[in-house]
Amino acid sequence: MVIVMAPTATDADTAAVVTRVQQIGGEAFVSHGESRTIVGLIGDAEQFEDLNIPGMSGVDHSVRVSTPFKLVAREHHPNRSTVWVGKPGRRVPIGPRTFTMIAGPCAVETHQQTLEAAEMAQRLGATMLRGGAYKPRTSPYAFQGLGRSGLEILADVSERTGLPVVTEVVRPADVEDVVEHADMLQVGTRNMANFSLLQEVGHAGKPVMLKRGMSATIEEWIMAAEYIAQRGNLEVVLCERGIRTFETATRNTLDVSAIPVAQGLSHLPIIVDPSHSGGHRQLVEPLSTAAIAAGADGLIIDVHPDPASALCDGPQALTSDDLDHLSVSVRRVREAMLRVPAEAEGGTGSDPRAEQASLGHA
């Protein structure tokens, strides 16, 4: 069962619900969203019905959930969520009303390389910067990232460009350090089932980008998001990055169908990584347009000022010339889908609601 608190509910109202549930031996997990607080209940649903929780102060309504995931299910949250990333005054939305571009180097190598990549990202229209300070690699001999110094580079480039940063966290022990430098924590494909890490980022108090495991079903992916939500964090963005199949022509197989399926099952935003799914820069543009047409809320793309010298995933990183072509294609499909570009709060661009209205009458 899920208890949806009213927007005006106080912390005391929520605590009273938790106390009443615990008094009969049930468990209650509180998750705070942008405008709502949700309390997931575990225990005897019939006993919960007898508690008359909907009549308590601050409670909006209760929902009996039939899916194995409760807090991130679409059942009790008919309107899809928007996750805001960044510091107050320059937060960027990821959600159904806008379209968010995230771009940057796969791995942070030097300060100059990261700054140039961030400037390339802005040319593409990106309002968030991606970059890996920690790089879990298949080979133990491959570049593993700069660690803390990479985080410091990302934080400095973010300050210079105004772009909020998303970066991967690999171990629970690193979460505190990454939270200090980044605006959003990324859980990569290899860690989607690292449940201790999921729980730790759930406690962290920062938005989380959860990449789909390369061999995970959609339900397993959403259940991983439930681990994060159960620890109090509903600010989760799903990322489809391709799954492992028998096909070898691409690095992974982009599962475009996962976009509408996940949106039907969960209220969380979903973005797509065309760089890691295709593995080749010439595939990024067609995969990007396919993702937008399928309803993705954003893209996360690898760019590099000199891909030939990249220490990580150079063949899939876009060059300046590639960005010019991609930006045109993205804009055309985005407008056809009536999606407006996401901007930071206080941005100088057009009002998304006004542009949405104008697109609707085009």
* pLDDT digits 0-9 by tens, 58-117: 999 888 776 788 889 988 787 899 999 999 988 999 999 899 999 999 999 999 999 999
Rounded to an integer, what distance in angstroms lies between the CA atom of residue 160 and that of residue 141? 33
Rounded to an integer, what distance in angstroms lies between the CA atom of residue 83 and that of residue 358? 24
Per-chain mean pLDDT for the chain? 90
DSSP letter string, 223-243: HHHHHHHHTTB--EEEEE--B
Q: What stretch of H or E contains 167?
A: strand 165-168
Rounded to an integer, what distance in angstroms lies between the CA atom of residue 282 and that of residue 147? 30
Residues pairing with 118 in the sheet = none
Domains, the chain, in order of start with CATH, read 2-63 (3.30.70.1140), 83-355 (3.20.20.70)
Cα separations in angstroms, 157 against 35, 152, 208, 302: 31, 9, 20, 16
The SS3 assignment for 16 reads helix
At residue 79, the pLDDT reads: 87
The closest alpha carbon to 166, from 256, 100, 233, belongs to: 100
Q: Tell me the average pLDDT across 247-272.
A: 97
Q: With beta carbons less than 8 A apart as the criterion, state whether 62 and 68 touch.
A: no
* DSSP annotation of 317: -
At residue 362, the pLDDT reads: 33
Instruction: Read off the pLDDT band of 224 (50, 70, 90).
Output: very high
Q: Tell me the average pLDDT across 15-24.
A: 92
